[in-house]
Amino acid sequence: MISMTLADIAATVSGELVPAAGDGPDTVVAGTVDTDSRAMTGGDIFVAKPGAVTDGHNFVDTAAAAGARLAIVEHTVEAPVSQIVVTDAVAALADLAREVVARVRARGELKIVGITGSNGKTTTKNMLARILEGEGATVAPRNSFNNEVGAPVTMLRVDEDTRYLVSEFGADRIGSIARLAGLVTPDLGIVLMVGLAHAGGFGGVEATQRAKTELVEAVRPGGVAVLNADDPRVAAMAAVAADRGVAVRWFGRSTAAEIRADDVEVTAAGTTCTVVVGDERLPLRLQVLGEHHVMNALAAITAARELGVAPAVAIARLETLEIAERWRMQPLGSERVRIINDAYNASPDSMAAALRTLAQIAEPGQRKVAVLGAMSELGESAGEEHDRVGLLAVRLRYERIVVVGAEARRLFLAAVGEGSWDGEAVFFASADEAFDYLRGELRDGDRVLVKSSNSAGLRHLGDRLGESFS
């Protein structure tokens, strides 16, 4: 974070300063801001966020012992650290992020990119950050820091030297993206797709579209919206952009896109395609597995071009990216038994894409094994969408379909109903049971996909399998 006095921070978050011994209103702090006391080092700022499971106020003393110089709290705590008392710690975190980014931006160098979409946000964020790091100091979220806490924490890593801020915006309700993007009014907004991810929380895909449109509405007038030309719901956002004086740039697979991909091929070594930009045809060789990541790459290349990075330069930097993120199409195990751990998140679209990817990269004689858990937050669509995944796995001729967890049982029943019987489809209530089965079932040459929503916890099963077969 940039340097600010305790008095300045207190005024920014509308809080009351309670200085520790030796500190005063003019004391300057400039450390990292976080809600995790374990992340504190000398000079940092700890935000004591109340939570459903635990209360950050219980860890103020721990943060102080680790070196925190300031705690933002909702009530004072007996701890040897200066404190600013606020009404709402999460709101204070947002207020501080807004002010810090505004001060850095006022110096004229900072460019801000916002990314949203039902799938692909984290991968696109990592791709764009890899491109922009070659141009100047770049701040991007760790993992999937895209909610009301993670997004401001990322913004607060901006300092005087930062040239690019790449923010990822998730949403659990209408208004979430508007609130988060409104903290920084991006110069450029990327909308990847509108799908059924989290549709249960929104009340349907139309409401999801409305939520994602909030990013286009938050882009500053004169800025740019980078939109998926292949998704009609995203393409419809061009009208909103025009009303706001925001230019539109298109990416996709169709000829309607300004930057598009031809000749896509997926292998066990990665994904290749030809990126078409006007009359240029540029080869791209991604180490990241999966045809669906081509769209994320196109979005990143398109955004980078608007920020002054030539597509050929962007492509060269993308080719150095080894994985999208931990637990996202992450190769584990060995050539003997290859595990693809993609169990950080799941939606109907991403589940289908992952299943198709493994089917594409498996060679003749290699068994395809799908280890599948529940997709969360699908609301009334949950049953039908789990049915579709079970049917797809059978139609892609997976030799083993291993379904884990009661919430995914309907997927198992759909696979059996489609003809995956006689041990081809099996069900286990727990990941431990599935691990014991797989450890004895997998054999040389098998190619294994582990895929579920984060809440199903199969990412840890994927890690165990990877270690077991390394």
Strand, helix or coil at 206? helix
Contacts of 217 (CB under 8 A, 6+ apart): 178, 240, 244
**Is 118 labelled a binding residue?**
yes
**Interatomic CA distance for residues 104 and 343, integer angstroms:** 37
Query: In the beta sheet, which residues pair with residue 425?
Result: 401
SS3 of 31, please?
A: coil
| Cβ count within 10 A of residue 60 | 24
What's phi and psi for 275, nearest 5 deg?
A: -90, 125
Burial of 362 (0-12, 13-18, 19+ CB in 10 A): buried
Which amino acid type is present at position 210? Answer: R
**Identity at 156, one-letter amino acid code:** L
Which residue is associated with the tokens 């300092």?
159
Q: Are the CB atoms for 69 and 81 separated by under 8 Å?
A: yes
Nearest in space to 164 (alpha carbons), one of 177, 173, 155, 175: 155
Task: Please state the separation of Cα 324 from the chain's center in Å.
Answer: 10
Per the annotation, does 12 bind a ligand?
no
Q: What is the three-class DSSP state of 465?
A: helix
| Nearest C-alpha neighbor of 252 from the set 120, 385, 113 | 120
Asked if residue 37 belongs to a known ligand binding site, the reply is no
Residue 308, annotated ligand binder?
no
Tokens for 259?
């930057």
3 appears as a binding residue in the annotation? no
Report DSSP state, residue 339: E
Q: Residue 64: helix, strand or coil by DSSP? A: helix
Query: By the 8 A CB rule, do 326 and 344 touch?
Result: yes
**Cα(96)–Cα(105) distance, integer angstroms:** 14
Q: 143: annotated binding-site residue?
A: no
CA distances from 168 to 142, 195, 212 (A): 10, 17, 12
Q: Is 121 among the annotated ligand-binding positions?
A: yes
Residue 47, Cβ density class (10 Å: 0-12 exposed, 13-18 middle, ≥19 buried): buried
Find out whether 286 and 293 touch, Cβ atoms under 8 Å: yes
Known binding-site residues equal 117-123
Known binding-site residues for ATP equal 117-123
